[in-house]
Amino acid sequence: MILADDEKAMLDGAGGVAKQKAMELLVRYAEALGAERLVDTNNIAGVPGSSTLFLQKYFEEHAGDGSFEAVFSLYDLDAAEVMSVPKAAGNCCHLQGGMDLEHWADLGMSREALEHQREDETELARHGVRIMKTCTPYLAGNLPVQGEHCAWMESSAVVYCNSVIGARTNTEGRESTSAAILTGKIPDWGLHRDEYRRGTHLVHVETTPVESVMDWGMLGYFIGGTVEENIPVVTGAIRRADPLRHKHFGAAAASSGGVEMYHIVGVTPEAATLEMALGSRKPAATIKYGAEERRRVYETLNANGRDPYVDYVMLGCPHASIDQFREVARLLEGKKIKTHLWMFTSRAVKTVADMSGFTKKIEDAGGLVMTDTCSAIARAVPKGTKVVALDSAKQVHYLPAMVGVEAWFGTTEDCINAAQTGRWTGELR
């Protein structure tokens, strides 16, 4: 590896021992990748120092110290000693967390866990980390520019960052983002480099136009399962691109496969034309998405649903946008629901939803609006839940396995209908 002078200095300990350990971890990681150098980054989204009670207690027991700085040193930086952790080097935010600080009891969290979360937040703020607590930083105030080198975690945010914004990030992990927070560096590999950003597989949409949020989600889920970690280039009947549809498409493609970047010809910034999206390469495969593929992906996403009696409707995966609040508030206005309904979002979007009157309409109908987390992250569903209704392909992918429930997938309206009647009536239309 070739290291720049400032990187060598940090590795030699010029910036203190914490930066030295962070640089050592980045070098181990970059060498494993086969990267030749590091690149500067001033936009980092991670989960620095955050710990569950398990982690805190593990380090209390094994290292005699379960503090924020201990977890950051021993776990995030994989170091052998607890170090004093300096302030963040650049712009960095904390992604989603474990619980809503107001409705923690509904999530089944203990007061002890709540206090621990509060302490972590105090430490994060003291270390210069922005408390965004969302999987959608791009909807909550962290919006990079095209070409900007970022170091982001959260697969749904990564794919949005690369594909929709045209900024550059690999799918980073907890340890690499924490190291980047101290050093402002990340391996210059993969999607940071032009040659890795061109499309590899062609997907032609030959069905009734993909327009609804549900259809964008299903197409994303199909594509992820088909191309795995490759870069799809989508052409054909796909319409009404907006941030919400991209959010659901990318999250689905990143869960069923490992899609970190996609192109939609004429829509996304690095795909003005098919030639631009593919570069000089021939696609490795051309894949058709027609009525049959659409039907099969719908059945796959509903494979865990048997019992039509729904106990719980979960919305906000990835965290709900303000447009989704407007729609859910419209559907629920003046109504009462029979099931539990939890809607998850960021603190920033919730603030706007509160002021716009959307939260009140949802709560008046019997729903609950929560921030920071979701049912999969918190591994929390309302007590006694057996059957869930979801409008997110990503959440369907994870939640049934994680908490042992049946799940139905459909439109937001299907979910709201289920909340009102207690019965799932969604179908492919």
The residues that touch another protein, with contacts defined as CB under 8 A, are: 25, 28-29, 31-34, 47, 55, 58, 75, 78, 152-155, 158, 170-176, 187, 189-190, 228-229, 254-255, 257-258, 303-304, 376, 397-398, 400-402
Residue number, 159 or 234, with CB nearest to another protein: 159
Residue number, 180 or 210, with CB nearest to another protein: 180
Residue number, 142 or 359, with CB nearest to another protein: 142
How many Å apart are CA 77 and CA 180, to the nearest integer?
Answer: 10
Minimum CB separation of residue 173 from another protein in Å reads: 3
Residue number, 369 or 374, with CB nearest to another protein: 374
What is the DSSP secondary-structure string of 115-148? Answer: HHHHHHHHHHHHTT-EE---S-GGGTT----TT-
Q: Are strands 91-94 and 263-264 parallel, antiparallel or unpaired?
A: unpaired
Minimum CB separation of residue 254 from another protein in Å reads: 7
Residue number, 267 or 403, with CB nearest to another protein: 403
How many of the other CB atoms lie within 10 Å of CB of 150?
Answer: 28
Minimum CB separation of residue 29 from another protein in Å reads: 5
Minimum CB separation of residue 337 from another protein in Å reads: 28
| 212 secondary structure, DSSP code | S
Residue ranges of E strands in 239-362: 263-264, 285-289, 312-315, 340-345
Residue number, 60 or 102, with CB nearest to another protein: 60
Distance from CA of residue 317 to its chain's centroid?
A: 8
Q: Are strands 38-40 and 130-131 parallel, antiparallel or unpaired?
A: unpaired
| 195 secondary structure, DSSP code | G
Minimum CB separation of residue 414 from another protein in Å reads: 21
How many Å apart are CA 128 and CA 93, to the nearest integer?
Answer: 9
Minimum CB separation of residue 157 from another protein in Å reads: 8
Residue number, 304 or 351, with CB nearest to another protein: 304
Minimum CB separation of residue 52 from another protein in Å reads: 9
Residue number, 62 or 288, with CB nearest to another protein: 62
Residue number, 34 or 384, with CB nearest to another protein: 34
Helix extents (H) in 188-242? 213-227
Residue number, 210 or 253, with CB nearest to another protein: 253
Minimum CB separation of residue 40 from another protein in Å reads: 17
Whether cis (ω within 30° of 0) applies to the bond prior to 144 is: no
Minimum CB separation of residue 217 from another protein in Å reads: 16
| 152 φ/ψ angles, rounded to the nearest 5 degrees | -115, 145
Q: Are strands 43-46 and 151-152 parallel, antiparallel or unpaired?
A: parallel
Minimum CB separation of residue 349 from another protein in Å reads: 21
Residue number, 34 or 334, with CB nearest to another protein: 34
Q: Is 150 helix (H, G, I), strand (E, B) or coil?
A: coil
Enumerate residues 6+ apart whose C-beta is below 8 A from 321: 136, 139, 243, 244, 247, 345, 349
Minimum CB separation of residue 347 from another protein in Å reads: 21
How many Å apart are CA 429 and CA 425, to the nearest integer?
Answer: 12
Q: 309: buried, middle or exposed (CB in 10 Å: 19+, 13-18, 0-12)?
A: middle
How many Å apart are CA 292 and CA 315, to the nearest integer?
Answer: 27
How many Å apart are CA 65 and CA 74, to the nearest integer?
Answer: 10
Enumerate residues 6+ apart whose C-beta is below 8 A from 61: none
How many Å apart are CA 370 and CA 99, to the nearest integer?
Answer: 9
